[in-house]
Structure 1
């Protein structure tokens, strides 16, 4: 092949779950795909995926059945644990109210990664490289990539799945809006004295929610959002002191509590792009959007990126010399409304938890009362939260 001709139809940059899913779906659509996936430490977090995301994973062959890898989320219980003058009512949402068996499934990211990699290994038109992207030169015809091992190659379509600090996004000149919060998230695995029985339980405090997500039997995955200094102080006291703090935050509703894993703290921020694609570049996952882990939207939104990218890829006509540019522009247009709506809802929800002003408290409390008492509004909220389109 002439060195000035593309060696690959598509290059996916980023080895996370969205990058893996994108590489697989592009290859299944018939594109010769290179996946740049450097070795990283195992991702020991979990992801609560709503039913549309789970359906996409099964329909696209990325997993066999959710039962084999995850745990069903059948209820969402919200407890206002603040000391505010106006408090929201305790609210329980049941999947049966939406006429579905579960809102979604909670998966260990390690298990999802293993499943995705097993699928990728069966596809002949995926090449996986442990290299990172060192340089990207754009042109109207195709793009030139220089890898960390010095290799230079050309490709038509570049997929940036390389996170909040995306090299692809920066090299392609996409503008972003970013905001860092003073809050962070502490995550770890717990054993509870009493099981959650499929209910995700959210204690809403003034600096963010303290959420227990069912992980099978009496296990739970914890996501505790609070001031970064508060979380680091809690962690610095050792296991016994942290356990006592977690017992206090969970209001001892589930009996004894045991920490089963290491605890990690992640700073929280929001990031949005003006557009998610163009000129033969498409951004997915946290390269295109990032926000606090509220409403289980992070990976769900990333998988919707992949689903729309797969839809575009399925209609590509490679005899058109501008197919990559058209595909990236179509992708950006297809994703625009979902990114704006989801980003706005999650940002507003998170900020509403932090506002101490009485009008904001009244709106939030009234909103939960309305969701609790009005079935039609509750079903509409279910649809938005689950990412139905």
Structure 2
């Protein structure tokens, strides 16, 4: 997260959309990455419209690594992480399989690399409230509670049909509209997708004993069972298993769900209670050949999606936003082709990080769920090496936190 956030003086702006002229930047998608993208475009001095259709509150949490938190602070999106989040000081990995070749229990401590915490676990609702409060202060950022239903290109301008039937013209279009991205489809991006048989079950828990800042991952044959600190004796659960298994357990009632969670946690933290409804999400991977082209930039899950391994989801999306900020700040909007050049620059900035992170997460997940002995042996030997070799462990910290991406 080493890109600065650029700002220009803003005294008074008349929305270009009100004048009938093309807006300079149109951001499609109302999630956290979309709001952050709209803010950095506006702060770069672009007349920006953000299409953010109403959506139910996102009651999940996001574990953001310290470089992501540093970016949020430099961008003015978060002032004090301790005010809304909970520190992640250690990561504990427990091999809970019964395989012939098992990995050792491994503990990673942020103190080893001179940090107080690897990152922070934030409620998405609080992050969204904070982002939206910042967006409201920007006079050249117009937010519309609408979606996009059609996009076509005419030279260096995109004509976007909105969900109320109106049309908006834009020079740069930022797609933050998720896995089924209309922007990505309209831009003709090559996409690769793979659906897994696994899904993720998420809910909040009350533990008998606190995690004390340690994120605990039990690695089972069908995926990790992860407890993330959420303050006090609270924890967020991310449980990956076969979709049919999770769906059956969730629908069997709260008592059965609670019993299974206590079993999966090996009762290391006392009796566990489920304190929020549980939701099950299918898992898949998605990637594009490039993140930007022809005046379109894709951020967040419009460009990449992975299983929730290694806390890379929103972290990677925020790295998208940081590089988008640098690309638009370096562009000259007076040039007729500025948006094409900005999208090309953005794609170049993102290529190495997206390729490396996508490969890392995919390899980690497949090594956990595979039945092939060579892959299991490789994973186990890798964890032994990380446990016994501090320099290698520190290198793994850097890769996982996204600070070794350049």
TM-score range, shorter chain: over 0.9
| Pairing 1:50–2:61 present | no
Contact 2:33–2:300 (CA<8 Å) still a contact in 1?
yes
From 30, 36, 57, give the equivalent of 1:15: 30
Query: What's the counterpart of residue 195 of structure 2?
Result: 180
Evaluate the alpha carbon distance shift between residue 2 and residue 153 of structure 1 in structure 2; reply closer, same or farther with a 3 A threshold: closer
Alignment of 1:191-340 (within 5 A): 191-340=206-355
Query: What's the counterpart of residue 116 of structure 1?
Result: 131
Tell which deviates more after alignment, 363-372 or 134-143: 134-143
Tell which deviates more after alignment, 4-13 or 375-384: 4-13
From 350, 362, 373, give the equivalent of 1:347: 362
From 70, 82, 96, give the equivalent of 1:81: 96
2:330 alignment partner, SS class: coil
CA distance in 2, matches of 1:270, 1:139: 32
After superposition, the C-alpha distances for 1:347-376 in whole angstroms (9 at most, x for unaligned) are 000000011222111111110000001011
Query: What's the counterpart of residue 56 of structure 2?
Result: 41
Tell which deviates more after alignment, 289-298 or 309-318: 309-318
CA distance in 2, matches of 1:145, 1:183: 36
Aligned length: 389
1:385 alignment partner, SS class: helix
Deviation at 1:2, TM superposition (A): 10
Query: What's the counterpart of residue 161 of structure 1?
Result: 176
CA distance in 1, matches of 2:279, 2:339: 39
CA distance in 1, matches of 2:82, 2:328: 29
Deviation at 1:6, TM superposition (A): 3.7
Query: What's the counterpart of residue 92 of structure 1?
Result: 107
Query: What's the counterpart of residue 39 of structure 2?
Result: 24
After superposition, the C-alpha distances for 1:229-278 in whole angstroms (9 at most, x for unaligned) are 01011112111111000000000000011111010000000000011111
Contact 1:6–1:142 (CA<8 Å) still a contact in 2?
no
Query: What's the counterpart of residue 131 of structure 1?
Result: 146
From 155, 174, 185, give the equivalent of 1:140: 155
From 167, 188, 193, give the equivalent of 1:152: 167
Deviation at 1:3, TM superposition (A): 10
Q: Name the TM-score, length of structure 1 as normaliser.
A: 0.98
From 358, 362, 383, give the equivalent of 1:368: 383
Query: What's the counterpart of residue 358 of structure 1?
Result: 373
CA distance in 2, matches of 1:361, 1:170: 38
2:343 alignment partner, SS class: helix
Query: What's the counterpart of residue 84 of structure 2?
Result: 69
CA distance in 1, matches of 2:374, 2:38: 47
Q: Name the TM-score, length of structure 2 as normaliser.
A: 0.94
CA distance in 1, matches of 2:353, 2:17: 40
CA distance in 2, matches of 1:238, 1:121: 42
CA distance in 1, matches of 2:243, 2:217: 19
Tell which deviates more after alignment, 147-156 or 371-380: 147-156
Evaluate the alpha carbon distance shift between residue 314 and residue 328 of structure 1 in structure 2; reply closer, same or farther with a 3 A threshold: same
1:84 alignment partner, SS class: coil
Evaluate the alpha carbon distance shift between residue 146 and residue 255 of structure 1 in structure 2; reply closer, same or farther with a 3 A threshold: same
Evaluate the alpha carbon distance shift between residue 56 and residue 2 of structure 1 in structure 2; reply closer, same or farther with a 3 A threshold: closer
RMSD value, Cα: 1.2
Deviation at 1:161, TM superposition (A): 0.2
Query: What's the counterpart of residue 383 of structure 1?
Result: 398
CA distance in 2, matches of 1:110, 1:375: 37
Deviation at 1:139, TM superposition (A): 2.3
CA distance in 1, matches of 2:17, 2:317: 35
CA distance in 2, matches of 1:316, 1:361: 47
Deviation at 1:7, TM superposition (A): 3.0
Give unmatched runs, 5+ long, in structure 2: 1-15
1:138 alignment partner, SS class: strand
CA distance in 2, matches of 1:152, 1:310: 26
Query: What's the counterpart of residue 117 of structure 2?
Result: 102
